[in-house]
Amino acid sequence: MTFEDIETRIPVLGDTKIASPVKGQQTGETPAFFVTDNDRILVDATPTGLEILCAENRPFPSFELAGPRKKIYFDPSKLRCALVTCGGLCPGLNDIIRSVVLELHYGYGVRRIYGIKYGLQGFIPSYGHDVIDLDPAAVVNIQDMGGSILGSSRGPQSIEEIVDTLDRMNIGILFMVGGDGTLMAANKIANAIKDHNLRISVVGIPKTIDNDIHMVSRSFGFDTAVDIATQAIKGAHNEAESYPNGIGLIKLMGRHSGFIAATATLAQQDVNFVLIPEIPVELEGPDGLLTKVETRLAERGHAVIVVAEGALQELFANEDKGTDASGNVRLHDVGLFLRDRIKDYFRAQATEINLKYIDPSYMIRSVPANANDSVFCGFLGRDAVHAGMAGKTQLLVAHWNNHFVHVPMALSAGKRKQVNPSGKLWTTVLGATGQGSLCNRTT
């Protein structure tokens, strides 16, 4: 699919006839705060992309700019909203919750806001999970806490039961915070709502610590993850330098995409080898990882290796490890595998090494957001509210080309963003580490 082929229109529940209660900043007599659906952000803003589109005389594909509209669809005095967090934990979840609640309450005067406990399970009556009333008092200071005050869960639930619950609760806007699986579920929920002729807006807020959601340039929690990952790299480097033939090995998140591993490496340039899912790696042979680590130890006396959790999985292709609750194929623990393989390699050569293995994954997932992510979450949450109040549905609020925009769920759900092996991020990593190719040359 090319940029010019994509569909960027956002469905709406109906005409917007109610004046927005949001108080915008004024410049003289001209409102400078509200945006319209005609305010657009180009999908492909690169010079090459513009030249191609101009040459072919095609319309510029563009996203709606996120932000408050002058006219809204829902009457705030009668509106009920629900908010749910799904999937794995991620820094910033509580910041999102707080931002949504405060904008609904203070910006629009909505007083009925419900927090759904434990992800999609909270919609299913048989689980018996409570619903939380959310107001400013309930979310005060939660940005200083890790995790999610609503809890979370993994795995699919009955779409029909979810829609029935939304209907019984008279929900007008459902805010769903989650990753790819959640966005696919949100898309199905929105379709089922349409099939039942219900007027319920479904707004997605993309959440993935791996930063791998399609058509989303940055996801919340990623900045914090890189922050904490650099601390792990510092520790591994200090350990490696302090012992003869010291090796620091760090496993970071990145099931299918190596953005955290690559970015943390550039943030803390003490790393000598980076292994990510997108780039093939061989362990044996003259250009393989083990030989290059051996050369590095001989020349410098220490080495630091970062491996993303999804790297080297091709080595275990014949192993059936089953799937997790979300339907994802269970990964082989590449960190422990690599630790043992390195030890075996040098033991066979009667070379003493001092290897320290660090896996900070769950610590990273559960910490509070850093300052940058907290600000970012504030924008996402507020813009999600603006979209829902305007009656827009089946969209996610995303960051794209330095703006917050509305992206159709169908355009993003089920697709994945990955590190480009020829792009600037990875080529800069290669320059910073000097690792070169970790695959043996063929003649």
Residue 116's SS3 state is: strand
Residue 106: DSSP 8-state: I
Contacts of 181 (CB under 8 A, 6+ apart): 86, 87, 154, 156, 326, 327
Residue pair 184/413 in contact by the 8 Å Cβ criterion:
yes
**Catalytic option among 95, 210, 212, 383:** 210
Instruction: Classify residue 77 by burial, with Cβ atoms within 10 Å: 0-12, 13-18, 19+.
Output: exposed
Instruction: Pick left, alpha or beta for residue 297 (phi over 0 → left; psi -120 to 50 → alpha; otherwise beta).
Output: alpha
For 10, 314, 429, the CA distances from 327, given in Å and listed in that order, are 29, 19, 32
Closest CA to 309 of 399, 212, 231, 213: 212
Residue 275's SS3 state is: strand
Instruction: Classify residue 416 by burial, with Cβ atoms within 10 Å: 0-12, 13-18, 19+.
Output: middle
Mark whether 210 is an active-site residue.
yes
- What are the residue numbers of the active site? 210
